[in-house]
Chain A
Amino acid sequence: MELISGFFHAIPYEQILIQTLNGIVTGMILALVASGLTLIFGIMDVVNFAHGELFMLGAYMGVVVLAVTGNFWLALVLASLIVALIGAALQITTLRPLLGRDPLTTILATFGISLVLQNYALWQFGPVPRKIQEPITGQFALFYLEYPWYRILIAVLSAAIIGGFWLFLKYGTYGIWIRATTQDRVMAQAMGIPVPWVHTAAFAIGAGMAAASGVLFGPLIGVNHAMGVDWILKAFIVVVVGGMGSLGGSIAASIFVSLLEAYASIWVSPAQAGIVSFVVLILTLLFRPTGLFVPTPK
């Protein structure tokens, strides 16, 4: 009896609640990054190694616009648009020529792009991390602790962006084009859909989403040239765990993995908590390689 009540006393309830919130917040950002990655992979079979750098560029663009205008919301919107255009330019110059070739080449090309972008950022902005000021400061009381409003805002905005994107896919004219091209590129062309441009647009949308994530996440950590690297690994993991090509799956996996990591960080250091995502990946590969959140194909 003593043991049991002792056990229940030892569970850190407030910590669990805090980490649940943290997990959801990080999970939503990760979901936003992973959605772009899934979109790009699903529609043109490209594994975009440079996605983390688009996230990073978004954060830097946010820094720049914020410095010029002083308005966070303007920074969010403009950074996403600018990086979306950069993404479109990258797709047209380096990925279109590789269409139809071995998928290995696009992995390598996007890897090359990621190296160039990282070092370009290092060159232009220097190694010292920059700061983005959050638009709303202040915290609310959660038990005896205080939780920042901004983090809640991040989760809400990410969900809104993903939701908006989902609506666009389902009901927009061009959303139908994207879905048709993803399902059957050849017949989409035969129906008059300009598939090369749909590819470019999809890449641009994915890049914009990554950039938005970068701006949103910016205030939580310093903006520096290497910030994309951790995110790209996590994003790859959740895309595989969620089932490659499944938007819903990668979103679910993002939240799932982030929650687990947040809980783990109650007991171990954050660096070690990062192993959680790796373990989840290994287990998924062993037992449900098509994805945890996708129905097993018959």
Chain B
Amino acid sequence: MIASDASPASLVDLEDIHTYYGKSHILHGVSLRVGRGEVVGLLGRNGVGKSTTLKTIMGLVNPSRGRILFEGRPVTNLPAHRLARIGIAYVPEDRRIFRLLTVMENLRTGLDRNGVSEARKQELLDKAFSYFPVLAERRNQPGGTLSGGEQQMLAIARAMMLEPKIILLDEPTEGLMPRMVSQIREIIDVLQRDGVAILLVEQNVPLTLEASQRVYIMEKGAVRHHCPASELTVNHAVIHQYLGV
């Protein structure tokens, strides 16, 4: 269990969240928290509700029961665009960049917000291009012409343009070559150093255990196990129990 005096200030809190898709009861009382600047992993087999949890936090799906808190304030049922403005960013499982918009225009959807000076916008763009040089090269190309890995980078860069306090990453390494996987790994570190919290949903267990401070494991729509990442290894019994084939 977590030593309470070491836990950082709470950023996102889920309390007993129940979510339905139509008549299907997907989330059965999910509770978790992510602290400021923390990287928290969310593991589990396919279909246990990990993506739904992220979508619920992002306000894309409304829970039927339970509360969501952001920096201690209740934000349950707020629409997604408000949550994006207060500091939650989402990088979905299939990337979902705007295929017909150019790379620049994709980034601008996150940049064009109230209260951001032109200078700051340029800073953010420069930062994105320095992390992802290939995006700088392709800045005027339509998003749909990028390769899978490049689209993943664009999706993350786009989220960064919101200057979020937390990024919800849904299976960022899926379908990527090993070289890109390690690039994603580095990005996660860099983001954490910048003080951005990350809730990482992943099938890649070693990467998750390496990158995260704490891990939640889900099964059948609820959290079944929760501990510091250091307590688990790839071969741990718990991992086999909830993720083994």
Q: Which residues of A contact B (CB under 8 A)?
A: 173, 176-177, 179-180, 183-184, 186-196
Please indicate the chain A residues that have their CB under 8 angstroms from the CB of B100 in the complex.
179, 183
Name the residue on A nearest B164 (C-beta).
A192
Question: A188, A192, A193: which has the most chain B beta carbons within 10 Å?
Answer: A192
Q: Which residue from chain A places its CB closest to the CB of B113 in the assembled complex?
A: A192
Check B193 for interface membership: any CB of A closer than 8 A: no
Given contacts A186-B96, A190-B81, 6 further A-B contacts (CB under 8 A): A177-B109, A183-B98, A183-B101, A187-B97, A190-B58, A191-B84
CB distance from A180 to the nearest CB of B (A): 5
Contacts of A187 in B (CB 8 A): 92, 96-98
Determine if B189 is an interface residue (Cβ-Cβ < 8 Å).
Answer: no
Residues of the B chain whose Cβ atoms lie less than 8 Å from the Cβ of A192: 81, 84-85, 109-110, 113, 162
Query: Does B109 lie within 8 Å of A191, measured CB to CB?
Result: yes
A-B contacts counted at CB < 8 A amount to 65
B108 within 8 A of A: yes
Measured CB to CB, the nearest residue on chain A to B143 is: A183
- Residue from A180, A189, A194, A195 in contact with B98 in the complex, judged by beta carbons closer than 8 Å: A180
Among B45-61, those with CB < 8 Å from A are 58-60
Chain A min CB distance to B116 (Å): 11
Q: 9 interchain pairs (CB within 8 A)? A: A173-B112, A176-B101, A176-B109, A179-B105, A183-B98, A184-B98, A188-B81, A190-B58, A196-B79
Interface SS of chain A: helix, strand, loop or mixed? helix
Give complex CA distance A179, B106 in Å.
Answer: 11
Residues in B whose Cβ lies below 8 Å from that of A176: 101, 105, 108-109, 112
Chain B CB count within 10 A is highest, among A186, A189, A196, for A189
Q: How far is the CA of A176 from the CA of B104 in the complex (A)?
A: 11
Given contacts A176-B101, A180-B101, A193 and B79 within 8 Å (CB-CB): no
The interface size of chain B toward A, counting residues with CB under 8 Å, comes to 25
Residue of A nearest to B95 (CB): A187
**Which residues on B are within 8 Å of A, measured CB to CB?**
58-60, 79-81, 84-85, 89-90, 92, 96-101, 105, 108-110, 112-113, 158, 162
Per the bound structure, the CA–CA distance linking A191 and B157 in Å amounts to 12
Give min CB distance, B53 to chain A, whole Å: 15
**Bound CA span A186–B116, Å:** 23
Which residue of the partner chain A has the closest CB to B88? A190
Known A-B contacts A180-B98, A180-B101; the reply to A195 vs B81 at CB < 8 A is yes
Pair A189/B81 contact, Cβ less than 8 Å: yes
Give the Cβ gap from B154 to chain A, nearest Cβ, in Å.
12
Q: Of all chain B residues, which has the CB nearest A197?
A: B81
Instruction: Enumerate chain A residues within 8 angstroms of B97, measured Cβ to Cβ.
Output: 187
Name the residue on A nearest B99 (C-beta). A183
Pick from B59, B79, B99, B110: contact of A191, CB below 8 A: B110
Q: Are A189 and B99 in contact, with the CB atoms below 8 A? A: no
How far apart are B134's CB and chain A's nearest CB, in angstroms? 21
Query: What are the 9 tightest A-B residue pairs by CB atom distance, in nearest-first order?
Result: A192-B84, A189-B80, A190-B90, A191-B109, A189-B81, A187-B96, A194-B81, A192-B85, A173-B112
CA distance A176 to B98 in the complex (A): 10
Q: Is the CB of B60 within 8 A of A179?
A: no
Within 8 Å by CB of B162, from A189, A191, A195, lies: A191
